[in-house]
Amino acid sequence: MTDPISSFRRIAQMDSSSRPSAAKAQERPSDASSEVSAPAVSQTDEVKFSAMAQQAMQEPSFDRAKVEAIKQAIQQGQYAMDTRRIAENFVAIEKMIKG
């Protein structure tokens, strides 16, 4: 049976028809000496980033001084939190999760 949304089975059947059959595989000589082995090739992958990507990776995407100031305020007990707003956001997240 085919899944009507993804058509997974239909795609799998199409892929299997393009694969060599077992009969064709058996037609090949099984003598290892008749096969040509490929030379061992050492390949290395190399990634090159654009100048913009390199700059983005080097610079943090947040204000480090502001984060440190908030950390210090929390440690000293001086960071004011709006508990009602936090609770409302949790409720909103729960509604999104449940649908």
Residue type, 80: A
Q: Which helix (H) or strand (E) holds 56?
A: helix 51-58
Length of the chain: 99
Instruction: Give the residue extent of every domain in the chain.
Output: 54-98
Taking only the tens place, the pLDDT of each residue in 71-94 is 999 999 999 989 999 999 999 999
Euclidean distance between CA atoms 57 and 50, whole angstroms: 11
Residues above pLDDT 70, as percent of the chain: 61
Taking only the tens place, the pLDDT of each residue in 6-24 is 555 555 555 555 555 545 5
Residue type, 94: E
Mapped to the 3 state alphabet, what secondary structure does 62-85 carry?
CCHHHHHHHHHHHHCCCCCCCHHH
